[in-house]
Chain A
Amino acid sequence: MGALGPGDRLVWTVVALLALGTYALRLSFIQLYGTVEAFPPWVERALAYVPAAVMAALVFPALFALDGTVAGLVNARVLAGGLAAVVAWRTRSMLLTIVVGMGVLWLVTALSG
């Protein structure tokens, strides 16, 4: 049994508040853009770098950090992720990137385990 009982009213309170909150965060600038004064030019320039920064911020910890601690520079995930990155860069194929990455991860895990 988990933290909540069945039919717990707490669940629906949390669901309602989270639904409103996440939706507001998503809608925020899509709604505001163009209705408020123009953003300063540097904001527009900065927006060009958001995609690369967000993607890297999601990728790096999955390779180099586990459970909040730095896992080291060489591990199965780094090898798999590194080769996957080369494949992604050379082929632009998402499917091939994922297949190669998982293949290397399983291979390295099997060989080292």
Chain B
Amino acid sequence: MTFRTDFVDGGTAIAPLLPAGATVGLVTGVAATTVGLDPVQALSMSVFVYSPTVMLAAFKLLDAGAPVAVVVAGALVVGVRFSMLSLSIAPYFERDSTRSKWAMAYFLWTPTYALSIERFSAEPGTSRTGFYLGTAIPLWVTVQAALVAGALFGASVPAGWQLGFVVPLAFIALLMRFLSDRAAKVAALAAGVLAVAGAGLPLGTGLLVAAVGGTAAGLAIDRLGGR
């Protein structure tokens, strides 16, 4: 399998998720205007930071009048999950050049991560950078374009459409692909319950606790031989 064919496969895999990416971009663009960013600032921020969740957390703190140190620290706590994704996908890029690793790291985001992990473990012969970038680049373009649209046109989509729900639906579709054995199911259930219980924790730390706790629960079942 070549870089080119696997790049196309990646593009095919990400295509159904692009509406969800567009929704996230749109919401982030609208949020950027509410804290006083102009479209150019919003797009620059999104290109450099490339994480709507981190940006939304930063906007919330800026809006509350928090000092720079608190804004940055608070928003980065939300981004700590990236280090979990980084650890999880790292073995697949171990033999890549440093330059390639640096490029892959820039595009590391949940949908790209999830599709790539699934493909890499199912088909070891995949051109990993090809497939990964095939999912990452269309998603990047979609998110940035939608973010500019959101920053320019603001909140003209009626709230009654509940378009934001597209995002959890996309994650549901991805989640079902990872429930391969009993330990994975336990990991998901434990993480889900912990995430709901921790939903009130500040700055999305509940998500982090849930991801770590769920992984530990899966590992425990694995070690007990209950796969």
Contacts and interface: CB of A to CB of B under 8 A. Distances in A.
Given A19-B48, A101-B169, A55 B188 contact: yes
Contacts of A60: 191-193, 195-196, 210
Given A31-B105, A50-B211, A70 B196 contact: yes
Category for how many chain B residues contact A: 35 or more
Nearest to A86: B176
Secondary structure class of chain B's binding surface, majority of residues:
helix
B110 A54 contact: yes
A85 B105 contact: no
Contact of B191 (A34, A52, A64, A109): A52
Contacts of A58: 110, 168, 171, 195, 207
B87 A29 contact: yes
Interface string A14-52: 111111011101111111111000000010111111111
A6 B79 contact: no
Contact of B179 (A23, A42, A52): A52
A95 interface: yes
Contact of B219 (A1, A14, A45, A106): A45
Contacts of B106: 23, 26
Interface in A44-88: 44-65, 68-70, 77, 80-81, 84-85, 88
Contact of B195 (A61, A85, A101, A105): A61
A93 B176 CA distance: 11
19 contacts: A4-B36, A6-B36, A19-B49, A25-B79, A25-B86, A26-B83, A28-B83, A29-B86, A31-B101, A33-B94, A58-B168, A59-B192, A64-B196, A65-B196, A77-B165, A84-B172, A92-B177, A98-B19, A98-B166
Nearest 10 pairs between A and B by C-beta?
A49-B218, A53-B214, A2-B36, A60-B192, A62-B168, A33-B90, A94-B16, A55-B175, A19-B48, A65-B199
Interface of B: 16-17, 19-20, 33-38, 41, 44-45, 48-51, 54-55, 58, 62-63, 65, 68, 71-72, 75-76, 79-91, 93-95, 98, 101-102, 104-106, 108, 110, 113-114, 117-118, 160-162, 165-179, 183-185, 187-197, 199-200, 206-207, 210-219, 222-223
